[in-house]
Amino acid sequence: MHNPTPILAFLPTFSSGIIRARGSKIDLTQSSTISPIKRKRARKSRFLTTSPQPAPSHTDIPSFLRHSNLTSLNPTTTVFTGTLYEYTVLAALTRCLPGISLTRVGGRDDAGVDLLGQWVLPRIPRRTPITESPNHNDNDNNNDNNHNNDDDSYNHNGNKETEGKQTLPLTIQCKNVQQKSWKGPQYIRELEGALASRPPHALGILASVRDITPGMKKQMLASRRALGFVKVTPLDAIYGEKILIQKYGEEEAIVDFKLTGRGGLLQQFAWNEVANRYIGGFGIGARYVESGYALGGIDLGEFMQNPEIRVSEEDEEELEQEITLTWNGTPVS
């Protein structure tokens, strides 16, 4: 059995998933230049909520593959690959980050959002509720200073801890983009735009098949919104010969499509200082899983490659690395 390897070895550019500026710590108290009057006006503004389409024809990977087969959707199109990747991200985050629930809303008029949901953070003592501002007023400070030192609800630093469930709204954009057309910092700015209609404490996550870049880290550090980045590997597939089918009374050729069982793993998770107000204290570790772990237990039937062809001696011994959420070095379940 392989011992878990600290994720620092895998992601050497930042610690515990938090992106920080080199040589200095960002002053959160001076990160906003909005006046108190403008803040009040901003809070009264209405938030536009993107809701899922009624009665969706697919809600996960198996149902989407069945729907694609029934509608003869060509697996080489961007609609197919993009939708499949969105469900791959949904499955990976739900599996690796306890408490997350997501719904796909991608499609026409999606306001730049692919997945919406919430993250009910695990029951772990936290300094302040996520709905509170990081800057307490004088009355709150006076009340905190007058607490009983023997009260277990306060830690040794004088900060109040809460153990109740706390919910963090999630807004996720998925980018299954190849290297030639990759525009990392631009995608971060697009994510910030999608968060404009979301609650102030919503966490925006960019999911990508590629690694995070220095330009993306810089853009995340400069943002006033809570932002995160995850790398989720795409599902590996084999595209066979073209098959003639009848569609709308005419013959059309589509490509045979089979999943190999590989891919679909969460391999990076980073967040900025603003997001650290809400998920600070959590860390990221690594675990080794067998090839095909992401699709284990999912019946894909005809869409999965024949096991006799897929499995070889090398595949059985090969292990892949995936991220797991930790608290004080211990995986969170």
pLDDT tens sequence across 288-330: 998 888 888 788 878 887 655 445 545 556 788 999 999 888 8
pLDDT cut 70: percent of the chain above it? 62
**Do residues 267 and 233 lie in contact, with contact meaning Cβ atoms separated by under 8 Å?**
yes
Task: Say how far apart CA 187 and CA 176 lie, in whole Å.
Answer: 12
**Which segments of the chain are extended strands (E)?**
100-104, 115-121, 166-175, 203-208, 226-232, 237-247, 250-259, 266-271, 282-290, 319-327, 330-331
pLDDT surpasses 80 at 272: yes
Can you tell me the distance from the alpha carbon of 171 to that of 191, in angstroms, rounded to the nearest whole number? 9
Average pLDDT in the chain: 75
For every residue of 73-126, DSSP letters joined together read: --TTSHHHHHHHHHHHHHHHHHHHSTTEEEEE--STT-TT-SEEEEEEE-S--B
- Rounded Cα distance between 179 and 52, Å, is 30
145 close to 92: Cβ distance less than 8 angstroms: no
What is the model's pTM? 0.73
Question: Cα(220)–Cα(227) distance, rounded to whole angstroms?
Answer: 6
* Token digits of residue 140: 């709150």
Per-residue pLDDT of 26-63, as tens digits, reads 443 333 333 444 444 444 445 555 555 556 789 999 99
Residue that has been written with the tokens 């980018």 in this structure: 175
**What whole-number distance in Å separates Cα of residue 272 and Cα of residue 18?**
6
Residues 6 or more apart in contact with residue 228 via CB below 8 angstroms? 203, 204, 205, 206, 269, 270, 271, 272, 275
Partner residues linked to 169 by β-bridges:
118
Taking residues 252-266, report their average pLDDT. Answer: 81
